[in-house]
Structure 1
Amino acid sequence: MRTLLKVMLSIAAIFASTFILGRVLGILTEDNVREWLQIASTLSALTVIAVVVALLAIDLFVAVPTLTIVILGSYFLGFEMGFAAAMTGSAIAAFGGYAICGRWGEGALAKVIRNEDERADMRGAFTSHGPGMIMLSRAAPILPEVTACMAGMTRMPLIRFAMFWVVGTLPYMGIAAYAGSVSTLDDPRPAIFAALGLYAAMWTGWFIYRKYWMKGGARLLV
């Protein structure tokens, strides 16, 4: 378990460095996202869709304000198109991370964890606890990308990863997209309440899962 946390923290540190760099350089901030989507909305709905998908897709490489993108995108597009764009962009990031780490992750892992027994223990720990981590990964920035990379690196079957990813991502994106679609500049309360509610629900889920996990019950998810 300690090895699993070490690897996840190492991956998280890489993503966090892009987040910090982006803030220092003043790129991919919430203000940037809002401005780009406003400009895109003056052109066409397809332009807004393209911007939303592109921003969420590059989240694999550079941390972006995901919830802001989904809410604002759905404000301009409406629920159906906003939700579809959000799921598409997020899927590109998630399955892209899975594929990249599935192809090259083992080699990188061997350089970080040289002991084969420790690597085997890490894979076993993620097999047991990875499903819960994937489903609740939207509780915090960077965690969705970290868990996607871990799934690929540990060779979790694609269909299994996809199932847990959909369970955790679809309701999150659906609620965020709906809140954005019914919000207005004069009444942003639906978006605000949705953001607060989503984070509260996810963190409550993490709290319950950790208690369940500590009792060994998470192994039933395998």
Structure 2
Amino acid sequence: MVERILAPVAAWIIAVISASGYLGIVLLMAIESACIPLPSEIIMPFSGYLVSTGRFDLYLVATAGAIGCNLGSIVGYEVGKHGGRAFVARWGKYVLLNMDHLAHAEHFFARWGSITVLVCRLLPFVRSFIAFPAGVARMPLLRFHLYTFIGSWPWCFGLAWVGMKLGVAWRTDPRLSHALHYADAAVVAVIAGGVIWFIGREIKKRRARQL
């Protein structure tokens, strides 16, 4: 059931990037940074795959991803600034965000202060929620965006680089080409599996807590 629902999400991610180019990357990464479950671990590697085809430039892909992170983070920052934990407690479940996610981000922020925004942008999962405690703490907006961009760029670059290298391998290694037949179909399968795994895991966690 979950697979039937989420497979179109993966196809939509591919369609947005394929049709909209760099702007599509900005849009999807903005959604991811606004705490909506579109994992950057899926978005950026597929963008890197398109680098291997000659469609995109690796550095521009990373920059587009980082810009998207900044734009999406505005939502988390403003919600944290004006709504705080009460907003997450009431509405977080609709985007697979819970108090545990926020608690991890708040722990990092309480210990390390503003530099946490930069560091946590390099960490899976926590990176998407760090804007909330930054907003609660009313971190200076210019510093927040500067740290967000500096931390997000290498993350986006690294994921895109992996996707690019895999794309090159699929296209140049005859053994892989023979096994996979069509690189595009393989990428679709990987992305669909990644999205299904990520969201399915969050749904299982929520059901376990309700028991």
Distance 1:24 1:98, change over 3 A: farther
The 2-side partners of 1:26 and 1:109 are apart by 24
> Is the aligned partner of 1:34 residue 2:8?
no
Contact 1:28–1:64 (CA under 8 A) maintained in structure 2: no
> Is the aligned partner of 1:186 residue 2:171?
yes
> Is the aligned partner of 1:58 residue 2:31?
yes
> Deviation string for 1:111-135 (max 9, x for gaps)?
9xxxxxxxxxxx8983433446431
Number of residue-to-residue matches in the alignment:
151
> Deviation string for 1:69-119 (max 9, x for gaps)?
1122242412133122211211111233112322332764899xxxxxxxx
Distance 1:68 1:107, change over 3 A: closer
Contact 1:130–1:147 (CA under 8 A) maintained in structure 2: no
Specify which of 113, 129, 138 is matched with residue 122 of structure 2.
138
What's 2:43 paired with?
69
Distance 1:105 1:73, change over 3 A: same
User: Residue 168 of structure 1 aligns to a residue in which SS?
Assistant: helix
Gaps of 5+ in 2: 91-105, 177-211
The 1-side partners of 2:7 and 2:58 are apart by 27
The 2-side partners of 1:127 and 1:159 are apart by 20
Gaps of 5+ in 1: 1-21, 41-46, 112-122, 190-222
What's 1:174 paired with?
157
Specify which of 22, 25, 34 is matched with residue 5 of structure 2.
25
Indicate the RMSD between aligned Cα atoms, in angstroms: 3.7
> Deviation string for 1:34-83 (max 9, x for gaps)?
35434x2xxxxxx2222222211112142112122112224241213312
> Is the aligned partner of 1:97 residue 2:76?
yes
The 1-side partners of 2:108 and 2:13 are apart by 37
What's 1:202 paired with?
none
TM-score normalised by structure 1 residue count: 0.53
What's 1:211 paired with?
none
Contact 2:79–2:87 (CA under 8 A) maintained in structure 1: no
The 2-side partners of 1:30 and 1:155 are apart by 35
What's 2:190 paired with?
none
The 2-side partners of 1:69 and 1:180 are apart by 10
> Deviation string for 1:142-178 (max 9, x for gaps)?
x223111110012122233334323422222223334
> Deviation string for 1:172-196 (max 9, x for gaps)?
222333444453342599xxxxxxx
Kindly provide the amino acid, as one letter, of the partner of residue 62 in structure 2. Answer: F
Q: Percent identity?
A: 19
